[in-house]
Structure 1
Amino acid sequence: MISNALTLILLALILLILISIVTRSSKNGITPTPTSPKVKEEVTAIVKNYTPTTIADFGAGWGTMAFALAKEFPHTDIYAYETSLVPYLYMKGMAKLKGYSNVRILKKDFFTVRAGEFDLIYCYLFTGAMKQLSPMFASYNGTVISNTFALPNTVPTATKNVASWLGTTPIYIYK
């Protein structure tokens, strides 16, 4: 009897988590997607060329890129923006568990922040979000690194193509 009740509670919790992720994903237009290990490695190498003191991860998802940057740059303030509750809570727990004191995890829409607060902004979003961010980045003097999706009508300073299990992934760099 107790085992059946625990199983039902666990299944209900899993269902609520899935509903939460699907609901927020449909609103955001994309699911929280982890950055592949090879892309994470390449982005980290690119960031080393810029020595930023503040980095924003717009749409941080599960925090794979934010945590990689926090580990590689322990004296850099990393701001991870995520509006989906479950990934946000996951990041909060992982930051505490791993001891990343330089990561600020914010359940806040990145469209409401000022890009000028950061030296570098990392994005792994989707075409629609990049289009919406174009006006914000037009007057931005920092560096934008975008995984997979380019800023429309903007020529990148550089593009790196990374071979990964998903095929070839472009990384766009805007200065």
Structure 2
Amino acid sequence: MEIDLINGLSIILIAISISLVLSILYYTLKTGISPMPGSARARRCVLDHLTRISEQHPDQSLTITEAGSGWGHLVIPVALRFPQHKITGYELSWLPFIICRFLKLILQLDNLTLHRQDFLIADLSSSDIITCFLYTEGMSKLRQSLEKQDCLPRWLISICFALPGYQPEHTQRLNDLYNTPVYFYLMPEN
């Protein structure tokens, strides 16, 4: 009897694990990128730059949007550091979205709104700053989406991949294994 219970629980755990892996694989194929977090150095670099922007606009409540918030490795620290700003994260894959939402609830981040939605079809017109860690094709799609909506943010910060057709104001190379670039764009005003 005890062995049957253990075997039953083992089968359930294996089924859940396989379902989770298949879900991540499905959304990886659907979006073209896995929900892989950026490095701690990249996160610090982005947070430092956001801090400079925030300090330059002390009387303004900024809207910071993360396109592809994944497991929350960037959007959660951004919400923690900037309680005075409105932070929004978009994630399509349900497992990272649930983990990120759980962290939001545990940390009581009232300034953070999470959407389980494709950011490419979301209304980003209220975004002052967009942060992202996508891939080459994803950056092209983001550009097309922003230009189609005619809603360029004031700033765009991209880890690793450039925004085609735009010249970054500054590129910072991280002192890591890949010499990862972080692109900082001051976007043209609409």
Superposed CA RMSD in Å reads: 1.4
TM-score (norm 2): 0.87
What residue number does 1:157 align with?
A: 169
**Does the 8 Å CA contact 2:127/2:153 hold for their aligned counterparts?**
no
What residue number does 1:135 align with?
A: 144
More off after superposition, 135-144 vs 152-161: 135-144
What residue number does 1:122 align with?
A: 131
Residue 94 of structure 2 aligns to which amino acid in structure 1? L
More off after superposition, 137-146 vs 95-104: 137-146
1:133 Cα deviation from its structure 2 partner:
1.6
Instruction: Give the 5 Å matches for 1:43-122.
Output: 43-51=46-54, 53-122=62-131
Q: Deviations over 1:104-155 (max 9, x none)?
A: 1100111112332111000111100101122344551410000000011221
**Does the 8 Å CA contact 1:116/1:142 hold for their aligned counterparts?**
no
Structure richer in strand, relative to its length: 1
The gaps in structure 2 that reach 5 residues or longer are 55-60
What residue number does 2:57 align with?
A: none
What residue number does 1:144 align with?
A: 156
Give the number of aligned pairs.
174
**2:25 paired residue among 22, 36, 47:** 22
From the CA coordinates, give the structure whose radius of gyration is larger: 2
**Does the 8 Å CA contact 2:121/2:145 hold for their aligned counterparts?**
no
Report percent identity of matched pairs.
29
The gaps in structure 1 that reach 5 residues or longer are none
TM-score (norm 1): 0.94
Say which SS state the counterpart of residue 71 (structure 2) adopts.
coil
1:174 Cα deviation from its structure 2 partner:
0.8
**Does the 8 Å CA contact 1:115/1:136 hold for their aligned counterparts?**
no
**Does the 8 Å CA contact 1:162/1:168 hold for their aligned counterparts?**
yes
What residue number does 2:182 align with?
A: 171
Distance 1:141 1:34, change over 3 A: closer
What residue number does 1:4 align with?
A: 7
Query: Where in structure 1 do 4 or more consecutive aligned residues deviate above 2 Å?
Result: 113-116, 135-139
